[in-house]
A and B are shown apart, each in its own frame.
Chain A
Amino acid sequence: MARLDDSAGHYRALYDTAKAGLPGLGLDWLERLRAEAIERFAATGFPTARTEAWKYTNLQRLARTTARLAPAGRVDAARLAPWTLGDEAARLVFVNGRHDPELSRLPALPAGIEVTTLGRTLDADGDSLRDRLGRQVALDERRLAALNTAFMTDGIVLRLRAGVTVPGPIHVFHIATGDAAPFMVPPRNLILAEAGSAATVVESFVDAGGGAYWTNAVTEIAVGANADIRHVRVQAEGREAHHVGLVEVRVERAGCYRALLLSTGALVARNEYHVILDGEGAEAEIDGASLLDGRRHADATTVIEHRKPHGRSRQVFKNVVDETARAVFQGRVLVAVDAQKTNAHQLSRSLLLAPGAQADAKPELQIFADDVKCSHGSTVGALDATALFYLRSRGIDAPTARALLIEAFVTELIEDWPTGAVRDHIGAVLRSALRREPGGTGPAA
């Protein structure tokens, strides 16, 4: 099969020049993993629209770009301010994919909570990650994650011992900057939560003038029995950037993974979640909002596999799409034959604010068990004219009424979140994105 791009050759050559500079040099298992990963990627290159899972999201422009590995970059601390949230238990900042200790804050945490960075861990204590790093990523199926694996350099490593609760959100900033575009940033995070532990992790992907860079992020999360992990991803990148993010999650018995995705897109953004409910009574909640304008494109793709009985999953995705932007939601739920008494619900709702705006939803249920409750629904429409009139008839002017209705449509997502710094932050990010504040999509400074 002829390919229009030579991305395979390009990234293979890039790997050959870069590998001696990647962390964990000299670890056999890691070298084998990286080598296998680049071969897996090179065998197929970038996915095309011919692949069902990529039929709505076109990466051909990215595939034709000869990106280099992100060079070191610097950002001013003031650039972080609008994105900072209160009560942070720790803040780890990665500029162009590399840990920046000066911008980070890592106070002492209670025993049993270990927060480190991937680069340093691989160099100093790499074998401690041997049986964990890359374990949840099927390199043959997720070829961009394979590319990330070949180049992975830095990110957060969070290890929670049984029963510990992290006293506040852990904030992971990924910031792209500099005029060296096109370049690739390959963040890689690993979250290992033992039985009964609990944490909230907020990841922010922010563009500080990175131009036509691309983020290729992978986060692996293992949620132990009865553990409770909340994971917020704020993906707010520039109009020239690409973002491909994969979150791979495995949840054990009665554990719970809750995700909230807020995407203002990029030129093209794809945020993918693959969650395996691998123990009885395991739960997953994935909610998302894409707020898009201009020519932005955001694709949220989820795959939830129910493998054991009494599992529960719930997904609500909301899109607000303006101008000629496009939102995509693909949600696949698989219920294995053993996963009786599964409860799985999925809803996607899109609000189109302009005639050129577009939203696609593709729900897919594959159910092999017979005693389950599964549902899905999707709606696409304009703002409700009757509601708009109702507000205006009470004195509220048309732009304000419209803004109130749009905000209400989206903030419904966080009504069930516990009150506190994270919820306040999410609300602020949402409102700011809806107001289209200058400088892009950040909360008001």
Chain B
Amino acid sequence: MLSIRNLHATVDGRPILKGLSLEIAAGEVHAIMGPNGSGKSTLSYVLAGRDGYEITAGEVVFKGRDLLELEPEERAGEGVFLALQYPVEIPGISNLTFLKAALNAIRSYRGEAPLDAMAFLKLSREKARLLEMDDKLLQRAVNVGFSGGEKKRNEIFQMAMLEPALAILDETDSGLDIDALKIVSAGVNRLRAPDRAILMITHYQRLLSDIVPDRVHVLADGRIVASGGKELALELEQKGYAGLGIKDNAAAA
């Protein structure tokens, strides 16, 4: 479903991704772990199409299409979804207005009729209930005044509404307490399907015991330096990055 081959990307002329390759097949869940500053968020932004990243080499093919030539909204239309590490606050636009615009834009991209107000409301109530989101949060301006955990849960709520083919979760588990983590994990697990793929960026093995990955990769200094099964996450947890011979910028910082 997703092939990243020898990807090089720079920010302000500074190389961040330095030859990253990764293959994710439909139906799989992959986890990426790695020290702070290794380029995990950069990878997620490059995949979602954020401005400010220059691709200097390599390619990304998603469902047979060159992903990098698409605008961010076209990628969303094709089924790419990024749950941001730091969700953005948007004063003046309610969560539901935002989601309705998003859902119907994606439906329109796919040549589907827009959902009417009733159907949309029904769907959003149903998904909110699954994620135990307070109805009040749906009416409030997007992420404004939300706690850290509420913001992360809101990302997963959006994901549940938009039902992407490829979900990229950038440290969605950070800042969540145990209960919230359970709810979010359940939300992600519900999305698992033979025609979908999930790429989880995380620091913690904890998440991976709830959402069991098919593959675990270690990203360091802009490259995948180790790949393995779910036991790799456990090994990392026990030995640390240093134990695997990887320099941990976070520890040094």
Contacts and interface: CB of A to CB of B under 8 A. Distances in A.
A binds B: yes
A393 B93 contact: no
B51 A400 contact: no
A396 B104 CA distance: 9
Contact of B72 (A389, A400, A405): A389
Interface stretch (A152-160, A194-202, A216-224, A408-416): A408-416
B88 A395 contact: no
Contact of A405 (B49, B87, B90): B90
Contacts of B103: 395
Contact of B109 (A395, A408, A411, A415): A395
Contact of B88 (A386, A398, A415): A386
Given A392-B71, A394-B76, A395-B76, A408 B102 contact: no
B76 A392 contact: yes
Contacts of A392: 49, 71-73, 76
B114 to A, nearest CB: 12
A29 interface: no
Interface residues of A, number: 25
A409 B50 CA distance: 22
Contacts of B90: 387, 390-391, 405, 408
A396 B105 contact: yes
A386 B92 CA distance: 16
B101 interface: yes
A404 B51 contact: no
Contacts of A391: 90, 98, 101-102
Contact of B93 (A384, A398, A404): A404
Contacts of A397: 71, 73, 105
Nearest to A409: B92
Interface in A18-49: none
Interface in B84-132: 84, 87-88, 90-93, 98-99, 101-103, 105-106, 109
A408 B105 contact: no
A423 B158 CA distance: 30
B219 interface: no
Interface in B200-236: none
A407 B90 CA distance: 11
A78 interface: no
Interface of A: 384-387, 389-398, 400-401, 404-405, 407-412, 415
Please give me the 5 A-B residue pairs with the lowest Cβ-Cβ distance, nearest first.
A408-B92, A395-B76, A394-B102, A392-B72, A395-B106
Interface of B: 48-51, 71-73, 75-77, 81-82, 84, 87-88, 90-93, 98-99, 101-103, 105-106, 109, 141, 158, 162
